[in-house]
Amino acid sequence: MDLQGWIDVYLDHLRVERTLASNTLEAYSRDLNALASELGGARAPQSIGADDIGKLLANNLRTGFGARSSARQLSALRGFFRFLLREHAIAETPMALVDMPKVPCSLPRVLSFDEVERLLAAPDLTTDSGCLYAAMLHLMYASGLRVSELCNLRLADFDSQRGLVKARGKGGKTRLVPVGEVALDHVAAYLQRVRPRHARDNQPALFASPRGGGFLRREVFWRVVRRYAVVAGIVPLPSPHKLRHSFATHLLHGGADLRAVQAMLGHADLGTTEIYTHIAYDDVRRAFDKAHPRA
């Protein structure tokens, strides 16, 4: 089987056996097909060496790939060639001598409490769309959901009685996240006043699109967040993911346990969550330097 054939087999393996999310699969497909495009899809996998991987990296530099993008692609290639080793398609991996590029560690920017308040207050609650987007914004900040998780919520995933929402995360994993009363009230108002006018019969989406009543696309919500950020005077304009970062950081500021935050965010590795402790520590350090007489 040639290189392109093995790439297709590997992507099927990721889709069926590892049940990776569609966005993750798209990224794997993009990175692996770039290798096939560079070397030729008819190439035999056992003929690929470290020099060939080096050519791909050199081409990445010419096309403006950053260190983070190259690291992501190399991670996909490592997984692919490990798979080929297990399937006895190759005798050794060409990735053994390829070093991962150094990715600068950058802390995520989070919104301040005041910025979050202004953003949540931006929608006009007298309109259907304002009521919808206010409910989504409040729920996202209250639960720390990813934007794809928020847009794919089903009506059955929202439990107003117990104050919980069931999120479907990466790899199809589900988790229950508590929701505060303010967000619960906004979602309840949307469900009572607005959703019945837009959702079709038997429509499962919790947040029904005003156009057609189906699931709202995440690209639409992305534009909505930036539009309300302009209204709220927030600069630079945040992405929806900034609400997730802010959720985690504000919880840690309030004394939440790191393990609890990890569970709510749906992180498989505690190290992924620990980045937010660095943000909280920076604020503590500034407060110490400003207030302590011996600082």
For the annotated catalytic residues, the residue numbers are 146, 170, 241, 244, 267, 276
Say how far apart CA 167 and CA 163 lie, in whole Å.
13
Q: Determine the 3-state secondary structure of 173 from DSSP.
A: coil
206 CB burial (10 A radius; 0-12, 13-18, 19+): buried
End-to-end CA distance of the chain: 66
Contact 51, 85 (CB under 8 A): no
CB atoms near residue 120 (< 10 Å):
20
Spatial CA neighbour of 54 closest among 66, 70, 43, 68 = 70
Residue 255 Ramachandran class (φ > 0 left, ψ -120 to 50 alpha, else beta): left
Q: Determine the 3-state secondary structure of 185 from DSSP.
A: helix
Q: Determine the 3-state secondary structure of 168 from DSSP.
A: strand
Spatial CA neighbour of 147 closest among 228, 247, 224, 221 = 221
Bridge partner residues of 3 (DSSP)? none
Q: Determine the 3-state secondary structure of 120 from DSSP.
A: helix
Bridge partner residues of 158 (DSSP)? 165
